[in-house]
């Protein structure tokens, strides 16, 4: 068991190191911008004195290394600084309610994005597993070919195409679901679910294909093993052979691909959120990219990267844990 | 929803009955005797789905416009599917009988999906190359004396104009011309980006594989960090910075986008070419070339590259799809290919709102769907071809 523990600790350390380096990359990338926050807030008619004053207030006169550590320290405590869009207002009104802080803008939207990702995962994972098992069971049949074509098409279509097709058929021509997901904080769960369903279905279509193909491939890989042959010769039904004998052994790659797709779900929401005007973190990110609201862009980028790295790390650790050869060393 | 569940349950009963009837009628023939319930259910489900499709298609041809409008898109989808399937079949037949011996053999073992893919890629290339001859108007031409937002379809009674079969956009440019030019811009830029990504990632990967040591370590760690950031997010971050620099330096933003996406995607190419290169470097003929005193460039491009073409070619197809979809997504989000260049992603963003009027006049919703569909169709076509190539090279049969 000690062996596994060391490997996992190594992976964890490596993951956090990666996260640290990624935060440096994001910070440096943003600092490549010409001018700085002070000039951007004050605009073109700024006097040198007022620029210097704001620089001092925001700590922009400090060297870059110092600024990086204070930004990182703040980010770790959930303080991402203040957003450009709101900072100027807060200065004028003299209010210090924290309305302009990036953290306050992000927090509710982060919850919304997590909700969307959770709903899509709850639909996609069981659906993909069942489809994958069925495709492996009836491999090379018409059903298998049809699902192959269908999944390949949905993987390679852009998300906005799938989104508009779903809007067309499920919201416009047959008004079953709303095409715009306006979500408020104090909304009943069922309402919220109804408004989230269409974006979640779009994401499901994108993610299911990959998971289903990997499930099918993982199971089929095992079908030539001697113990599968044995189970078949015993007279087991094909479904039982796959569910009882092949599936447990194919679990490691399947868990891995599920975790990778969950990572994709959290980062791939950007386009879908924009199409459905879903008030999530992806939409905030795109809006701040357009308005060059750098503190928000920086914070969103860090959050997305952290979610992505953590989920990939989980996938890594899960696949180590599900390998019995590593769990029970000789 | 309830009806749907009831129908699924009903299918179960019918499937059981179907299998039982088959057993009785054929006197327990092995085919029916050994049929699992799942297979019987599948038959019934498929028959029901086919019947529904035929019904929906006939609804789309109904004389009542309210009913026909509702099924218009399904009708087009069914017709498109049939036309493309016949086209792919004819193309394969053509390929089997015309050409050299090698191409004939290639077409003989080809599944219909792959021949569909090759046919579509050829069509896109043709449209992209001859866009300026095919398009009736210029891509940025604002046509004088013609109102903006002419109804697509060319039906004068509904507010269309037969000169503009797909109507005009919000500032009066011909949508059909922009769709055709979109092939040139979107596909061309994606292709150029992929080529740059391959030149960069491939040469770096081979270099790391041949030299090894600290250079390999350094490049690999850089690539690890770049790959840890989700690519679309990273591209958006860098595009924010590029959008500030572009006007200052006087370089179009599109060039920045090509460079940014090429660098981000070259990390994936680097991984593959390094792995492939490492397995080739240990071969005897590389050792022989080294002893002959050949230079690094000769080793990389004359010895390693020819032996790595098969996996790199399949990767090129996949990479092209990714780059193409990333560029389309960036353009859709408004930070990709910039106007006045015509581009499918931007067209979807500008015209997407019209989808909401589809129940009144289905033609209104076609331009954004055509633009998005053009992106999807090319990506699907390339994926079909790559899938077939991988299947062939791996020799997978089961």
Structure confidence at residue B105 (pLDDT)? 84
Measured CA distances, A292 to A298, A306, B49 (Å): 10, 22, 50
Q: Do B372 and A238 touch (CB under 8 A)?
A: no
Q: Is residue A239 in some structural domain?
A: yes
**What is the DSSP code (8-state) at residue B150?**
P
Q: Is residue A6 in some structural domain?
A: no
Q: How many independent structural domains does chain A possess?
A: 2
Nearest CA in chain B to A312: B228
Q: Is A297 on the interface with B (CB under 8 A)?
A: yes
Structure confidence at residue A97 (pLDDT)? 45
A-B contacts at Cβ under 8 angstroms: 167
Domain check: are A305 and A253 in the same one? yes
Structure confidence at residue A59 (pLDDT)? 66
Rg (CA), chain A: 25
Q: Is the dihedral of CA A162, A164, A170, A173 positive or negative?
A: negative
Give residue A175's region: left, alpha or beta (phi > 0; psi -120 to 50). Answer: beta
Q: Is pLDDT above 60 for A330? A: no
Mutation target for A interface from B230, B247, B331, B398: give the one with most A CBs within 10 A.
B230
| Chain B residues inside the 8 Å CB shell of A241 | none
Structure confidence at residue B118 (pLDDT)? 92
Q: Do A158 and B365 touch (CB under 8 A)?
A: no
Q: How far apart are CA A260 and CA A263, in angstroms?
A: 5
Residues 6+ apart with CB under 8 A from B269: B197, B198, B200, B201, B202, B205, B315, B319
- The mean pLDDT value for A49-62 works out to 72
pLDDT tens for each residue of A17-28: 888 888 888 888
**Average pLDDT for runs of 10 along chain B of length 398:** 85 88 83 80 88 88 80 87 92 87 84 91 92 81 72 71 76 84 90 94 90 87 87 87 82 89 93 88 87 86 84 87 90 84 87 81 84 91 88 62
Q: Is residue A8 in some structural domain?
A: no
SS3 state of residue A29: helix
| Chain A residues inside the 8 Å CB shell of B387 | 152
pTM equals 0.86
Domain check: are A133 and A161 in the same one? yes
Cα distance from N-terminal residue to C-terminal residue, chain B: 37
Domain check: are A47 and A129 in the same one? no
Give the domain extent around A88. Answer: 35-100
pLDDT tens for each residue of A72-113: 887 777 777 766 665 544 444 444 444 567 777 788 888 888
Q: How far apart are CA A45 and CA A29, in angstroms?
A: 26
Domain check: are A187 and A241 in the same one? yes
Q: Which residues make up the CATH 1.10.3720.10 domain(s) of chain B?
A: 175-393
Structure confidence at residue A43 (pLDDT)? 66
Structure confidence at residue A94 (pLDDT)? 44
Structure confidence at residue A315 (pLDDT)? 83
Cβ count within 10 A of residue A130: 12
Domain check: are A160 and A289 in the same one? yes
Domain check: are A92 and A146 in the same one? no
Give the gap in angstroms from C-alpha B295 to the nearest C-alpha of chain A.
Answer: 35
Q: Do A18 and B225 touch (CB under 8 A)?
A: yes
Q: Is pLDDT above 60 for A211? A: yes
The residue among A77, A100, A123 that closes a domain is A100
* Distinct helix (H) and strand (E) counts, chain B: 19, 0
Q: Is residue A225 in some structural domain?
A: yes
Q: How far apart are CA A290 and CA A302, in angstroms?
A: 18
Domain check: are A47 and A142 in the same one? no
Q: Do A270 and B113 touch (CB under 8 A)?
A: no
Structure confidence at residue B90 (pLDDT)? 93
Specify burial of residue B131 (Cβ count, 10 A radius: 0-12, 13-18, 19+).
buried
Domain check: are A155 and A302 in the same one? yes
| Chain B residues inside the 8 Å CB shell of A270 | 232-233, 236, 329, 333
Q: Is pLDDT above 70 for A166? A: yes
Domain check: are A117 and A207 in the same one? yes
Residue found by looking up tokens 């939207």 in the block: A109
Domain B175-393 annotated CATH 3.40.720.10: no
SS3 state of residue B168: strand
Domain check: are A94 and A136 in the same one? no
Q: What six digits make up the tokens of B176?
A: 């059909």
- DSSP notation for A183-205: --TT--HHHHHHHHHHHHHHHHH
- Identify the CATH number of the domain in which residue A252 sits: 1.10.3720.10
Q: Is residue A11 in some structural domain?
A: no
Structure confidence at residue A138 (pLDDT)? 84
| Chain B residues inside the 8 Å CB shell of A142 | 46
Closest CA to A286 of B334, B265, B324: B334
CB B189 within 8 A of CB B254: yes
């Amino acid at each position: 068991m000690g062996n596994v523990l060391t490997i996992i600790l190594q992976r964890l350390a490596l993951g956090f190191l990666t996260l640290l380096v990624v935060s440096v990359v994001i910070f440096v990338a943003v600092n490549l911008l010409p001018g700085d926050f002070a000039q951007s807030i004050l605009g073109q008619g700024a006097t040198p004195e007022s620029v210097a004053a704001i620089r001092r207030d925001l700590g922009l006169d400090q060297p870059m290394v110092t600024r990086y550590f204070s930004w990182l320290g703040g980010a770790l405590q959930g303080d991402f600084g203040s957003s450009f869009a709101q900072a100027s207002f807060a200065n004028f009104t003299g209010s210090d309610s924290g309305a302009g802080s990036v953290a306050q803008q992000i927090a509710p939207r982060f919850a919304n994005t997590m909700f969307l990702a959770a709903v899509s995962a709850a639909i996609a994972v069981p659906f993909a597993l069942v489809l994958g098992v069925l495709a492996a069971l009836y491999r090379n049949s018409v059903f298998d070919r049809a699902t192959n074509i269908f999944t390949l098409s949905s993987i390679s279509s852009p998300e906005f195409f799938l989104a508009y097709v779903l809007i067309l058929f499920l919201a416009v021509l047959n008004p079953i679901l709303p095409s715009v997901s306006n979500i408020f904080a104090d909304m009943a769960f069922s309402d919220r679910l109804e408004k989230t369903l269409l974006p979640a279905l779009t994401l499901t279509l994108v993610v299911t294909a990959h998971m289903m193909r990997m499930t099918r491939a993982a199971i089929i890989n095992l079908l030539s093993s001697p113990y599968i042959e044995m189970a078949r010769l015993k007279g087991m039904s094909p479904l039982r052979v796959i569910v009882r004998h092949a599936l447990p052994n194919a679990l490691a790659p399947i868990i891995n691909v599920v975790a990778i797709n969950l990572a994709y779900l959290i980062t791939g929401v950007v386009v879908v959120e924009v199409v459905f005007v879903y008030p999530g973190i992806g939409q905030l990110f795109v809006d701040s990219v357009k308005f060059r609201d750098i503190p928000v862009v920086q914070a969103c980028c860090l959050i997305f990267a952290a979610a992505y790295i953590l989920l990939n790390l989980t996938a890594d650790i899960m696949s180590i844990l599900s390998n019995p050869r590593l769990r029970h060393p000789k | 929803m309830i009806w749907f569940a009831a129908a699924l349950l009903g299918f179960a009963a019918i499937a059981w009955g179907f299998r039982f009837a088959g057993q009785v009628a054929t006197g327990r023939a092995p085919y029916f005797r050994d049929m699992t319930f799942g297979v019987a259910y599948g038959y019934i489900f498929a028959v029901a789905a086919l019947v529904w499709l035929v019904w929906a298609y006939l609804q789309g041809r109904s004389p009542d416009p309210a009913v026909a409008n509702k099924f218009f898109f399904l009708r087009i989808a069914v017709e498109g599917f049939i036309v493309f399937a016949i086209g792919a079949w004819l193309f394969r037949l053509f390929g089997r009988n015309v050409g050299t011996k090698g191409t004939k053999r290639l077409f003989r073992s080809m599944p219909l999906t792959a021949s569909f893919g090759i046919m579509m890629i050829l069509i896109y290339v043709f449209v992209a190359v001859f866009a300026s001859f095919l398009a009736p108007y210029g891509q940025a031409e604002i046509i004088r004396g013609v109102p903006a937002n002419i109804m697509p379809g060319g039906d004068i009674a509904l507010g269309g104009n037969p000169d503009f079969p797909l109507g005009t956009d919000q500032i009066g440019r011909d949508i059909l011309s922009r769709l055709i030019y979109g092939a040139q811009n979107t596909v061309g830029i994606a292709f150029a980006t992929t080529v740059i990504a391959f030149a960069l990632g491939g040469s770096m990967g081979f270099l790391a594989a041949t030299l090894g040591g600290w250079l390999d370590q350094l490049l690999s760690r850089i690539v690890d960090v770049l790959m840890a950031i989700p690519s679309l997010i990273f591209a958006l971050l860098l595009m924010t910075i590029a959008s500030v620099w572009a006007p200052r330096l006087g370089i179009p933003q599109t060039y920045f986008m090509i460079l940014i996406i090429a660098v981000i995607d070259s990390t994936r190419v680097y991984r593959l070419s390094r792995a492939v290169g490492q397995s080739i470097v240990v071969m005897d003929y590389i050792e022989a070339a080294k002893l002959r005193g050949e230079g690094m460039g000769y080793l990389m491009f004359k010895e390693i590259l020819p032996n790595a073409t098969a996996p790199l070619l399949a990767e090129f197809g996949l990479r092209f799809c990714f780059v193409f979809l990333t560029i389309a997504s960036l353009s859709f989000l408004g930070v990709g290919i910039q106007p006045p260049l015509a581009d499918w992603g931007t067209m979807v963003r500008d015209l997407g709102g019209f989808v909401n009027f589809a129940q009144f006049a289905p033609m209104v919703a076609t331009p954004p769907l055509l633009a998005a569909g053009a992106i999807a169709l090319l990506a699907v076509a390339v994926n079909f071809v790559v899938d077939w190539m991988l299947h062939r090279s791996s020799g997978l049969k089961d």
